[in-house]
């Protein structure tokens, strides 16, 4: 009687294991088709350290959700001006970061591509807050 | 002292027993059996590097490919299955490598290459190989939008034909969604194309934004001057109006993909149940 139970449980276990194996095989092909997810995740607005960063991240997400989502790709830079803004505020604080963002907005016209490297992934001009310029914009004053 | 150092070195080289190729391959095989695929792959690659006469190539290429397959580096796995394919004369093994390659190309969504490998398979296959081929064929045809072929292949795998018919009927309805229609609707009225594909949030968003800009432009034209209104509002209106109808087309394409993805996974659920 005991042997019967052991044999039956072994058989059931074997069946269960073999099923899991085939499930894993079919599971490999779940993403053979694109899932159509075009929602973007903005990592720039995460890991806020203080209230100012929380406020600016909120403003950034509001702009991205309701305005930028309806817009054409018009920014000539990578990261885009809004992403640059939040990164600059997070890195240099509200005043310097704000000034840097305003400066960036005046530069966002594509008239001086020779001053920047090209981001090969997006084919846009690379300009990150705090990064050294690829080409000196003005001559240094001695 | 110099002589002593020289002698020590000579004796060391003479006495030292380095790991030979057989030992490296045996070590790699042991790692492979322990399912330590990353380490096994590195050991196999080392053996390949020192195997100048290609004595172990036939044995090692498929193992490296399997390791890469298991660590989900499917692109590189296809290259090693290719090497394995040309290193053997055994047709059964060749078929096995071809099927693995098809599997890799499907997972990395490289459908054209998967189709090429499908055509490379011989007419005569064993039962197991045929089953595998039909399964890949069903997925490939679905991914390429060849639905009648996919349906007949899935019908061979899933016994309950009513489920297959139902799911493919659902799939046919998806084909009625037209990204072009969504674009035209959004040109006629901002947001309408998004509503047509069922994206209410973006539809209302586009409508409010563009009509808000029109209202602002009209107000400026009446209160200030039409020229001022044109200069200040028109560029913004153009951005959001044009952006709205272009996005409507993108959203429609994404919706089609999302719905197809769901139908496809339901078909896979049925295949899984059958197994």
For B160, phi then psi, to 5°, come to -75, 100
B259 with A69: Cβ contact below 8 A: no
CA pair distance B206, B195, nearest whole angstrom: 10
* Average pLDDT score over chain B: 91
CB-based contact, B214 to chain A, within 8 Å:
no
Which domain, by its residues, includes A114? 43-126
Q: Is residue A2 part of a domain?
A: no
Global confidence as pTM: 0.79
CB-based contact, B201 to chain A, within 8 Å:
no
Which domain, by its residues, includes B195? 179-274
DSSP state for residue A124 in the 8-state scheme: E
pLDDT(A47) > 70: yes
Q: How far is CA A91 from CA A102, B133, B253, in A?
A: 15, 55, 38
Q: How many domains does chain B have?
A: 1
pLDDT(A16) > 50: no
3-state secondary structure of A118: strand
pLDDT 10s digits, B253-265: 999 999 999 999 9
Q: Which of B103, B191, B259, B272 to mutate to test the interface with A (most CBs of A within 10 A)?
A: B272
| pLDDT score of A17 | 45
Residue with the two structure tokens 């200030």:
B224
Minimal CA–CA distance to B161: which of B173, B175, B151, B148?
B151
Cis ω for the linkage preceding B158 (within 30 of 0): no
On chain A, the residues whose CB falls within 8 A of the CB of B246 are 72
For A131, phi then psi, to 5°, come to -80, 150
Q: Is residue A24 part of a domain?
A: no
Q: How many domains does chain A have?
A: 1
Q: Is residue A79 part of a domain?
A: yes
B79-84: average pLDDT? 95
CB-based contact, A34 to chain B, within 8 Å:
yes
Q: How far is CA A8 from CA A4, A17, B126, in A?
A: 6, 14, 32
pLDDT(A19) > 70: no
Minimal CA–CA distance to B202: which of A43, A55, A122, A38?
A38
Cβ B186 vs Cβ B248: under 8 Å: yes
Cβ B268 vs Cβ A30: under 8 Å: yes
Largest CA distance in chain A: 98
Q: Is residue B77 part of a domain?
A: no
CB-based contact, A71 to chain B, within 8 Å:
yes
pLDDT(A20) > 70: no
pLDDT(B81) > 50: yes
pLDDT(A24) > 70: no
Q: Is residue A136 part of a domain?
A: no
Q: Is residue B157 part of a domain?
A: no
Q: Is residue A21 part of a domain?
A: no
B240 with A74: Cβ contact below 8 A: no
pLDDT 10s digits, B200-231: 999 999 999 999 999 999 999 999 999 999 99
Query: Where does the pLDDT of residue A135 fall: very low under 50, low under 70, confident under 90, or very high at 90 and above?
Result: low
B272 with A23: Cβ contact below 8 A: yes
Q: Is residue B221 part of a domain?
A: yes
Q: What is the ipTM of this complex?
A: 0.78
Q: How far is CA A53 from CA A41, A89, A137, B145, in A?
A: 17, 7, 30, 47
DSSP bridge pairs for A125: A77, A118
On chain B, the residues whose CB falls within 8 A of the CB of A62 are none
Q: Is residue A88 part of a domain?
A: yes
On chain B, the residues whose CB falls within 8 A of the CB of A28 are 103, 107
- Higher-pLDDT residue of B51 and B251 is B251
B48-58: average pLDDT? 87
Which member of A19, A32, A36 has the closest CB to residue B143?
A32
For residue B257, count CB atoms less than 10 angstroms from its CB and return exposed for 0-12, middle for 13-18, buried for 19 or more.
middle
A70 with B109: Cβ contact below 8 A: no
pLDDT(A15) > 50: no
Q: Which residues, including other chains, have CB under 8 Å from residue B206's CB and lie 6 or more apart?
A: A70, B186, B190, B191, B194, B240, B244, B247, B248
Q: Which of A34, A39, A70 to mutate to test the interface with B (most CBs of B within 10 A)?
A: A70
Q: Is residue B184 part of a domain?
A: yes
B142-167: average pLDDT? 92
pLDDT 10s digits, A61-89: 999 999 999 988 889 999 999 999 999 99
CA pair distance A24, B254, nearest whole angstrom: 27
pLDDT(B184) > 60: yes
On chain A, the residues whose CB falls within 8 A of the CB of B250 are 38
B173-191: average pLDDT? 95
Long-range contacts of B83-88 (CB under 8 A, 24+ apart): B83/B57, B84/B58, B87/B54, B87/B57, B87/B58, B87/B61, B88/B58
Cβ B142 vs Cβ B130: under 8 Å: no
Q: Which of residues 246-265 of B touch A (CB under 8 A)?
A: 246-247, 250-251, 253-261, 264-265
Residue of B nearest to A25 (CA): B272
Q: Is residue A96 part of a domain?
A: yes
- Higher-pLDDT residue of B159 and B229 is B229
* Proportion of chain B above pLDDT 90, given as a percent: 84
Q: Is residue A83 part of a domain?
A: yes
Largest CA distance in chain B: 105
Query: Where does the pLDDT of residue B137 fall: very low under 50, low under 70, confident under 90, or very high at 90 and above?
Result: very high
pLDDT(B18) > 70: no
């Amino acid at each position: 009687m005991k042997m019967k139970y052991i044999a039956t449980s072994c058989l059931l276990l074997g069946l269960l294991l073999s099923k899991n194996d085939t499930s894993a095989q079919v599971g490999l092909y779940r993403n053979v088709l694109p899932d159509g997810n075009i929602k973007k995740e903005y990592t720039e607005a995460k890991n806020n350290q203080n209230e100012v960063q929380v406020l600016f991240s909120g403003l950034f997400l509001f702009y991205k959700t309701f305005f930028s989502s309806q817009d054409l790709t018009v920014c000539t830079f990578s990261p885009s001006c809004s992403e640059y803004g939040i990164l600059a505020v997070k890195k240099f604080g509200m005043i310097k970061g704000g000034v840097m963002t305003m400066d960036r907005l005046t530069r966002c016209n594509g008239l001086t591509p020779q001053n920047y490297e090209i981001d090969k992934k997006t084919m846009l001009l690379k300009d990150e807050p705090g990064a050294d310029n690829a080409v000196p914009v003005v001559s240094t004053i001695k | 002292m110099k002589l002593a150092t020289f002698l020590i070195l000579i004796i060391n080289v003479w006495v030292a027993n380095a790991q030979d190729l057989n030992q490296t391959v045996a070590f790699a095989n042991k790692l492979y059996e322990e399912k330590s695929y990353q380490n096994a792959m590195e050991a196999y690659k080392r053996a390949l590097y020192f195997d100048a006469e290609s004595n172990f190539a036939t044995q090692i290429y498929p193992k490296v490919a399997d390791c890469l397959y298991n660590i989900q580096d499917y692109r590189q796995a296809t290259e090693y299955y290719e090497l394995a394919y040309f290193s053997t004369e055994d047709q059964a093994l060749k078929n096995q490598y071809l099927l693995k390659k098809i599997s890799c190309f499907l997972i990395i969504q490289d459908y054209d290459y998967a189709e090429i490998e499908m055509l490379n398979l011989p007419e005569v296959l064993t039962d197991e190989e045929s089953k595998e081929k039909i399964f890949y064929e069903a997925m490939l045809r679905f991914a390429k939008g060849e639905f009648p072929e996919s349906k007949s292949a899935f019908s061979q795998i899933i016994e309950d034909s009513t489920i297959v018919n139902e799911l493919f009927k659902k799939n046919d309805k998806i084909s009625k969604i037209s990204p072009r229609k969504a674009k035209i609707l959004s040109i006629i009225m901002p947001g309408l194309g998004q509503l047509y594909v069922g994206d209410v949030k973006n539809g209302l968003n586009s409508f409010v934004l563009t009509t808000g800009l029109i209202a602002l432009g009209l107000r400026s034209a009446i209160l200030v001057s039409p020229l001022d209104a044109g200069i200040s509002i028109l560029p913004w209106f153009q951005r959001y109006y044009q952006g709205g109808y272009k996005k409507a087309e993108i959203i429609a394409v994404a919706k089609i993909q999302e719905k197809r993805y769901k139908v496809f996974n339901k078909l896979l659920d049925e295949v899984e149940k059958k197994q």
